[in-house]
Amino acid sequence: MSAEPIQKRKLDHVVPGARFGRLLVEAVVPAPDHVFGKVARRRPWVSALCDCGKRKAFIVDAIARGDVKSCGCKLREHRKEYTRRHQPVNRKATGKNLPA
């Protein structure tokens, strides 16, 4: 086993061109301006292109751990499908979810 810290070895595979879920890592970037806090700003960030076409910045360790797999499009698609399956099409006909 190598003498490198575990954290260092874990992040080595997050390089430009690597794919994680729907994300394709493009480049290492500085922390975005909207990020506050010393810890988040000190961590390494990468720019990634999602399969849906959206480009977004992520903390490297979140991608390496598998916490992040898309820009958020996967969640939106899941919610849309869930709503389509479980919500009545004609609310007036069922009498549910009507305001008083």
Tens-digit pLDDT profile for residues 2-48 = 555 545 555 677 889 999 999 999 999 988 888 877 878 888 899 99
Domain count, the chain: 1
Give domain status of residue 96, yes or no: no
Q: How far is CA 24 from CA 1, 63, 67, in A?
A: 29, 11, 15
What residue numbers bound the domain in which 53 lies? 6-88
Residue 23 lies in a domain: yes
Kindly state whether residue 33 falls inside one of the protein's structural domains: yes
Look at residue 98 and tell me if it is in a domain: no
Cα 67 to Cα 74: distance, rounded to the nearest angstrom: 13
Q: Give tens-digit pLDDT for 54-71.
A: 999 999 989 989 999 999
95 by Cβ neighbours in 10 Å (0-12 / 13-18 / 19+) ranks as: exposed
**Is residue 93 in a domain?**
no
